[in-house]
């Protein structure tokens, strides 16, 4: 069954390659959706869809960050899955 998360990651996540890492994690975990910088909320915003075990692994990897990032907070909200994403973590 497809599940979906709306994820917001706060901290030093701009200009450190964070979205590229999220894209790579999406490929590794078979998770689809998109990742974008949300300058208004000062975070990286991720919409992710996939199987429950894949999403759990994906969120753990995202929480680890990158060698140059520093995560201060991560908010995960379960949302209704749409199944409309056909790309693995599109970088916006």
Provide the pLDDT confidence category of residue 88 given band limits of 50, 70 and 90.
Answer: confident
Burial pattern 52-62, b for ≥16 Cβ within 10 A else e, equals eebbebbbebb
For the stretch 4-59, pLDDT in tens is 999 999 999 999 999 999 999 999 999 999 999 999 999 999 999 999 999 999 99
Annotated domain spans of the chain: 3-91
Give me the sheet containing 43-50, strands edge to edge: 70-79, 3-12, 43-50, 32-38, 90-91
Note the CATH architecture for domain 3-91: 2-Layer Sandwich (3.30)
- Confidence (pTM): 0.91
For the stretch 58-79, pLDDT in tens is 999 999 988 999 999 999 999 9
């Amino acid at each position: 069954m497809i599940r979906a998360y709306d994820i917001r990651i706060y901290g030093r996540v701009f200009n450190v390659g964070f979205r590229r890492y999220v894209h790579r994690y999406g490929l590794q975990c078979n998770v689809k959706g998109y990742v974008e910088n949300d300058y208004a909320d000062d975070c990286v915003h991720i919409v992710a869809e996939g199987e429950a075990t894949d999403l759990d692994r994906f969120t753990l990897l995202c929480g680890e960050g990158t060698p140059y990032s520093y995560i201060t907070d991560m908010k995960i909200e379960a949302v209704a899955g749409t199944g409309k994403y056909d790309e693995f973590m599109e970088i916006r």
